[in-house]
Amino acid sequence: MKCWVVIIFTFCIVTTSNAQLIDNYGVKLGISYSNIDHHFLQMFSDYDADYTYGWSFSIYAKQRIIENIILISEIGYIQKGYQDDFIRSNQFGEKLGKFTVRERFDYLSIKLVPTYEHSFKSFSPYIFIGPKIDIKMILDNDHSDLIEKINKTQLGLTYGAGLKVSKIIPYALLIEINSNYDFDYIFKNNFAEIRNISYELKIGVEF
């Protein structure tokens, strides 16, 4: 909890102290599409889970560095996880049906993203790549053994592209897609390595 407070406080201080340099700010809302990369170290086969959907939300501030290069400071919430289907059977091996197990990981995500944006008359495509840190949030639904054992922070890289459209409403609208690559494993021991895989599709409003 103290780690969250320090990071959020630092983010707010940096953003507000440079308020005179902020060109725009906005909000984004979207869906996440995530899974885990589960690698067994002492086996020839890996565990293949299925992708699952979740929500993501963020607020951001933009500072123009030079003409087409912008630095975006972003803080938000993202749901990650995976799901898998299992067959239920009785003591005689007869199939009784199928059930799905879902695991969800909730993160506070902080990003500092250099962005190249090219402005045309009424729209601006952009691409971005930069560092991120995801901090595990402790919620009431955290009940599984895996969730209790995973690492609480993951450093990584976020990259993607988007399109900002202006002159439709008083504010600019945007749509973007991005991939999040984690440098850290969420779980690792002598037998297995597990890493998050996630993508996001977002829409937003820029003021």
For residue 102, what is the domain's CATH number? Answer: 2.40.160.20
Residue 199 has pLDDT above 50, yes or no: yes
Residue 128 identity: F
Q: Which of 52-56, 60-64, 190-194 has the lowest mean pLDDT?
A: 190-194
Q: Is 42 exposed, middle or buried (0-12, 13-18, 19+ CB in 10 A)?
A: exposed
Say what the pLDDT of residue 80 is: 93
Query: Residue 149, Cβ neighbours under 10 Å: how many?
Result: 11
Q: Which domain holds residue 33?
A: 2-206
Nearby residues of 46 by Cβ (< 8 Å), 6 or more positions away: 37, 38, 39, 40
Rounded CA separation 134/188 (Å): 17
For residue 165, the model assigns a pLDDT of 95
Q: What is the mean pLDDT of residues 6-22?
A: 54
| Backbone phi and psi for residue 62, each to the nearest 5 degrees, phi listed first | -115, 135
**Structural domains in the chain (count):** 1
- pLDDT higher than threshold 50 for residue 197: yes
10: left (phi over 0), alpha (psi -120 to 50) or beta: alpha
144, containing H or E segment: none
Quote the pTM value.
Answer: 0.80
Looking at residue 147, its pLDDT comes to: 57
Per-residue pLDDT reduced to its tens digit, 118-152? 999 889 999 999 999 999 986 545 555 555 677 88
Identify the DSSP state of 91.
T
Mean pLDDT score across all residues of the chain: 82
